[in-house]
Amino acid sequence: MTLPVEASDDPPQAAAANGASAGKNDSSSAPASSAKLSRKLSISEMASASSTRRVATPKWLSCWLEFPFRIKNNQTGEYVEEATAHAMDYSARGPINQCGSFVGSAMIRLAAVKAMKAGTPTIYGMKPSSVLTVASLIVNISAGVTMPFVGALVDHTDHRKIMGTVSAFIMTVAVAVQIAISEDTWLAVWIFEIIGGYFLIMHQVCTMAYLPDLTHESAEMGHYTARFMIDQYFVQACFTLIIILVSTYWDHQDNGVIASTIATARLSAGMATGIGCVLFAYAWTFLFRKRPKLREIPEGSNIFTTGFRQIGVTTKHVFSKYRALRWFVIALLFSPEAGAGVVLSIAVTFLTFHVRMTVTEIAIVSIIMLFCNVPGALISKFMCRKVNPLNSFRCAEMFYAMVNALIAGTVSGPEKKGLVYPYAAMAGLAFGWMFPSQRTLTVAIIPKGQETEMMGLISFFGQILGWLPALLFTIMNENGVDMRWSMSLV
């Protein structure tokens, strides 16, 4: 079987063909042990070994920027460049995701002010409390319709790396624009929030296509995914902690809730933009490798239709041949990760309007969740090894459902604000446990040799109903249903 590696004018180095280790320390490593020689090289290792390195990493830069994100393979003890790239990419996305809570809180407050000044309960035909969920609705419907086409570009062209780079760039630009948020510009910021959300989903499709290439072993994949999430949570937590400290200072200046919220949103957007520029640029310039197209476009199809046809063919194949994978993709339809930003938009709306939390209090809730994500990821790593990834994912899903039920049943209003903090810790533990388990399970049950094809199907099923919670929340909110029952939809 021919494995796809980076297109190059030079032939792959003999080290890759002989099963030697890949990564930055290839030329200086000692002779491989018999265990290493018998181990099958991953596609990522082969891609690194065969790279011409026409764009070389500056040594002084890799020493301090790349080092914190390097992850050792737990079998060979060596570094894989694309594993480092994933860690940096996850860590860049963390602050961008978190920025959405601060900018989102500012947007819905500014929308409420605008509606109040106009003397109406609505703004542009919707309640201010529906602004974020309507944005999520637009993003996820657009993604559900177009992601098969994006998947076709990933599979049937050699533009996977270019697409990852461009989507990261547009996503970062969309966040940079949010620095300008104000009472006069909130609608433009809202539009760029939608643009950024769409390209976040596109970017995740591109990075997910690289994920199975890291290793052939589920134990190694569990090790990698847990570390990716820990890196993301750590960077995101540090980011949020800085925001809390600065926003607490601004709160004491008595400039008003709106002014403090706007200042916090601008700070978070500026910091997230800076982090994204550095980490995305480094990962996609120096570490992710090109891939040739995996297959030709079938006869009678074109690049616009082949993705939809392939989804249909693959779905039929999975549902008839692979029972475990069939039930897994069905479960993904209702996963909390389905849809970009849906959980975040609903949670920020709930905490702002129903619980009456300030932006600083929302930030404290976020950082509690983030710090609890780390032990959650460690639980995932332990459970995947001890009880298998499927049962680990099941346990995490049940734990999250219990937490959500407690929130809906007990947080009845601002007077119950104190309950939010322990629930945030429990939700953080659930998320930290759930997502690494889900990714490890994904790689473990995909039929060998069909990784990219199945990843496309999984990405599609993860988005196809991602818009539904936002739609139901918006309908219930517009009709005056108690927001805690709407919150239970998550």
**Long-range CB contacts for residues 275-278, cutoff 8 Å, separation at least 24:** 275/91, 275/92, 275/95, 275/96, 275/235, 275/239, 276/92, 276/95, 276/96, 276/168, 276/171, 276/172, 276/175, 277/172, 278/65, 278/92
Distance CA 282, CA 268 (A): 21
Measured CA to CA, the distance from residue 410 to residue 242 in angstroms comes to 31
**DSSP label at 489?**
T
Alpha-carbon distances, residue 87 vs 80, 393, 400, 462 (angstroms): 11, 22, 25, 22
SS3 content of the chain, % helix, strand, coil (to 5): 75, 0, 25
Per-residue pLDDT of the chain (490 residues; tens, 9 = 90+): 333 433 333 333 333 333 333 334 443 444 444 444 455 777 777 777 776 555 667 777 777 888 889 888 777 777 888 899 999 999 999 999 889 889 999 999 999 999 999 888 888 889 999 999 999 999 988 988 888 888 888 888 889 999 999 999 999 999 999 999 999 999 999 999 999 999 998 998 889 888 888 887 777 887 888 889 889 888 988 999 998 888 877 665 656 778 888 999 999 999 999 999 999 999 999 889 888 887 788 887 888 888 888 888 888 888 888 888 888 888 777 766 655 567 888 888 999 999 999 888 888 998 898 889 889 988 988 998 888 888 898 899 899 889 988 998 899 889 999 999 999 999 999 988 988 888 788 877 877 766 666 777 777 777 777 788 888 889 998 988 888 887 777 6
317: closest CA among 329, 332, 303, 305? 329
Place of tokens 């950082």: 367
Decide: helix, strand or coil at residue 72: strand
pLDDT at residue number 38: 52
Closest to 229 in 3D by CA, of 131, 375, 359, 77: 375
- Gap between the Cα atoms of 112 and 122, Å rounded: 8
Among residues 110, 160, 155, 158, the alpha carbon closest in space to that of 131 is found at 110
- Answer left, alpha or beta for residue 217, where phi above 0 means left and psi between -120 and 50 means alpha: beta
Backbone angles phi, psi at 185, to 5 degrees: -115, 5
pLDDT score, position 32: 42
Q: Where do we find the tokens 């496309």?
A: 456
Per-residue tokens: 451:
């990784």
pLDDT of residue 90: 94
Q: Which of 161, 477, 184 is closest to 346 using CA atoms?
A: 477
The Cα 288–Cα 85 span in angstroms is: 6
Give which of 317, 239, 306 is closest to 278, Cα–Cα. Answer: 239
| Two structure tokens written together for 392 | 């680990």
Please tell me the predicted confidence (pLDDT) of residue 341: 64
d(Cα 211, Cα 302) in Å, to the nearest integer?
26
The pLDDT value recorded for residue 147 is 84
Q: Identify the pLDDT of residue 269.
A: 96
pLDDT at 111: 93
According to the model, what pLDDT value does residue 37 have? 46
Q: How far apart are the first and last CA of the chain?
A: 43
